[in-house]
Amino acid sequence: MKPLARPAPALHESWPGYLDRVAHLNHLNGVQGIADLLGVLPYRLLVSSPRIVLTQLGISLPSIESAVLDTPLQPDGRVYLARAGRSIRTRICPECARENKNLMIPAEWDAALTFKCHVHHVQLLDACTACGRALSYEHSSLIFCSCGHSLRMERARKISNEIEAVLSALSFPPERKLRLMFAPSTDHEVMAAWLIRRLLMIDAGLFHKRRAARMKGDAFVTASEIQAVSPWFIEWPNAFLAKLAEANYAHKLSPTKMMGLGPSRLEKNLPEVSAAVIEFDSRRRHGKRPAKSSGFALARNPWMGLKQLMLQTGASYHAAQTWIRSGWLGDVRVQQESPGGTRYLIETESAVRFIKMVHRTSSVRTMASDIGLEVTALRCLIRARVVQGIPCGLAQWNVRLAPAPVFKLAQTLLSAAVLGKPSNAEVISLSTAICRVRKHDPSVTAAFVAAVISRELRTRTFIPNPVSLEEVTLRVQDFVKWLRRRS
């Protein structure tokens, strides 16, 4: 099937943007609508050769050397947005949106580090200002958000100083020529975008968890992310790299590996990056562990939003909501901004304190192996609130632990155990006992721990000065007797 309205692509138009424009002229549901028309998946449509798609849509190929047709293809005849430094996401100038009913999206707006409309000299928007949902070609409309907000109603903002600072630190030529659609961005631009992306993920502990978009290796960077990293860019690239190295260090991976590039490619493309990485690697092998920085960009604004909090802690929306409900973030102001849009204002001071706390937490698995308890047993203790877990996701078991109280509990339990010789009596480990108590009656888990600590229930260890709870056992006989008395 062919659409009725079949405009030719404009010279500098974005390829996904063009598909979106054709869709709206034909009252179709965005890029998805065109994909449905051709019976393919939207992703496939975006990576297919524009020449082929145009033919399928019955659109005559433009007579001029059009940007669409100049799109560099991979050997398999496809287009890779990410490899060209482009993204499934885009930005919109609210002024341009107001002036043109059928907005033509310049290819440049999809690029990693474009933040300014060159017609209106205002900041491009990358997300709905009412609900925070990112602008993406995957959505049915770029202008009308699903929350009901229209970007045409948005007041244009001057480009922020932080963004200006980062861009100038990246030393872009001031009047960059508008590139042809899908023309690869400069190596420097792609590399910088990609470093910022990695940096943010590393810093927020999101490296393996987050995919910015479904396309692998997305090069998109949002304005708020740039603002958050701006203090790192005072001296590009050395200061930035030092920070990157620090963040990498915290995650115990080699920076080279972390950045996903082989050393030889790195050396070829960015020799100064390579030198810094090598220097850092050697410093890490021989030196002390650097202190982890956090809350670096937060001190200025007295209020922090939910999104920033999530970015800094790597937590989900639900986790952040739980923190607010539990009062861990102090007094939080809630503003109803527009239909469906809620804005949370958290006092930066208490938020930073909390973020630092989250950064110091460990996973349940790590904690369990550190104190020598089975993971299931430690989870039982968390559920029974013997140790306090910090929720980090929607699921009840998705929590993290502050190490100090857990170590303290482990220490108390260890010191309660008496030195005893191996006997013929049947014994069970403390882990097994905790799991059985929970199975039997969850409400007595806390009482069980208290009984062990007060030595009402004797635990034994056969090693003097045990360091792990694995070495602590109790007699089945005693345990069963205690359980019977409780119920």
Summarize as ranges the residues that interact with Zn ion (CB under 5 A). 93, 95-96, 117, 119-120, 128, 130-131, 133, 145, 147, 149
Q: How far is the CB of 110 from Zn ion (least distance, A)?
A: 15
Query: DSSP of 79-119, one letter per residue?
Result: --TGGGT--SB--B-HHHHHH-SSPPPBGGGGSTT--B-TT
Q: How far apart are alpha carbons 337 and 340 in whole angstroms?
A: 8
Q: How far is the CB of 215 from Zn ion (least distance, A)?
A: 22
Cα 118 to the center of its chain, rounded Å: 30
Q: Which is nearer to Zn ion, 337 or 426 (CB)?
A: 337
Q: How far apart are the first and last CA of the chain?
A: 72
- Can you list the alpha helix ranges (DSSP code H) found in 338-386? 348-359, 364-371, 375-383
Q: How far is the CB of 329 from Zn ion (least distance, A)?
A: 24
Q: How far is the CB of 135 from Zn ion (least distance, A)?
A: 10
Q: Could you count the other beta carbons within 10 Å of the beta carbon of residue 470?
A: 16
Q: Which is nearer to Zn ion, 106 or 314 (CB)?
A: 106
Q: How far is the CB of 133 from Zn ion (least distance, A)?
A: 5
Within a 13 Å sphere around the CA of 186, how many CA atoms are in the beta-carbon half?
13
Q: How far apart are alpha carbons 345 and 324 in whole angstroms?
A: 11
Q: Which is nearer to Zn ion, 93 or 378 (CB)?
A: 93
Q: How far is the CB of 129 from Zn ion (least distance, A)?
A: 8
Q: How far apart are alpha carbons 102 and 76 in whole angstroms?
A: 33
Q: How far apart are alpha carbons 126 and 72 in whole angstroms?
A: 26
Q: How far apart are alpha carbons 113 and 108 in whole angstroms?
A: 9
Q: Which is nearer to Zn ion, 46 or 151 (CB)?
A: 151
Q: How far is the CB of 10 from Zn ion (least distance, A)?
A: 15
Q: Which is nearer to Zn ion, 121 or 455 (CB)?
A: 121
Q: Which residues, in sequence order, are CB contacts of 21 under 8 Å at separation 6+?
A: 7, 13, 102, 103, 104, 105
Q: Which is nearer to Zn ion, 106 or 237 (CB)?
A: 106
Q: Which is nearer to Zn ion, 96 or 192 (CB)?
A: 96
Cα 322 to the center of its chain, rounded Å: 18
Q: Which is nearer to Zn ion, 124 or 315 (CB)?
A: 124
Q: How far apart are alpha carbons 243 and 55 in whole angstroms?
A: 49
Q: How far is the CB of 335 from Zn ion (least distance, A)?
A: 15
